[in-house]
Amino acid sequence: MTRVTPWKQCRSYRRPSGRRHDRGGVTQLIPIAISELTAGHIHSLVKDGVGEGRTIEYKRDLPGSTDEAKGEFLADVSSFANAGRGDLIFGVDADNGIPTRIVGLTGIHADAELLRLESTIRDGVAPRIIGLRMRVIDGFADGPVVIVRVQRS
């Protein structure tokens, strides 16, 4: 069983002031297995002001279907794959990399969106990224949050 670690015990986090507090020199991935993430964990990211870094990025909306939107999404995914690993969290507003609120993804068909994202990655990134995981987390007033966890490729 994976131990749940409070965000402040991670190697690196940002306080609401935006200052980075480094605890070991390497920004860590969310320290919880993706299958165990809950709405409470996402709320903690916002409450604790865990800022974007080498292994976490917040997006308000899912990527669109234009080539430009797909290109930006694929660049984020391949960047995390090359850097080691990371989480893209869709449905969270951020200001200068600090999460400000959970906006959720209203009106989405979650299964279809996960298939679309997976297909975009499969068709747009070579070599294939092994260990890619996606999860929809419900429990927010304005719709779910989608997490795309990218492993080292």
| Contact indicator for 140, 41 with CB cutoff of 8 Å | no
Range 15-26 average pLDDT: 38
Tens of pLDDT along 70-103?
Answer: 999 999 999 999 888 899 999 999 999 999 999 9
Domains along the sequence of the chain with CATH: 7-151 (3.30.950)
Average pLDDT over residues 119-142: 92
Read off the pLDDT of residues 22-39 as tens digits, 9 standing for 90 and up. Answer: 333 333 456 788 999 999
Q: Sorting pLDDT into bands at 50, 70 and 90, what band is 153?
A: low
Give the tokens for residue 33.
């297995």
Q: What is the pLDDT of residues 113-122, one digit of tens each?
A: 999 999 999 9
Average pLDDT, the chain: 82
Confidence grade of residue 108 (pLDDT, cut at 50, 70, 90): very high
The predicted structure's pLDDT at residue 84: 83
DSSP string, 18-82: --EEESSSSPPPPSS-GGG--HHHHHHHHHTT---BTTEEEESS---SSHHHHHHHHHHHHHHHH
Check residue 14 and give its pLDDT. Answer: 41
Which residues pair with residue 94 across a beta bridge? 99
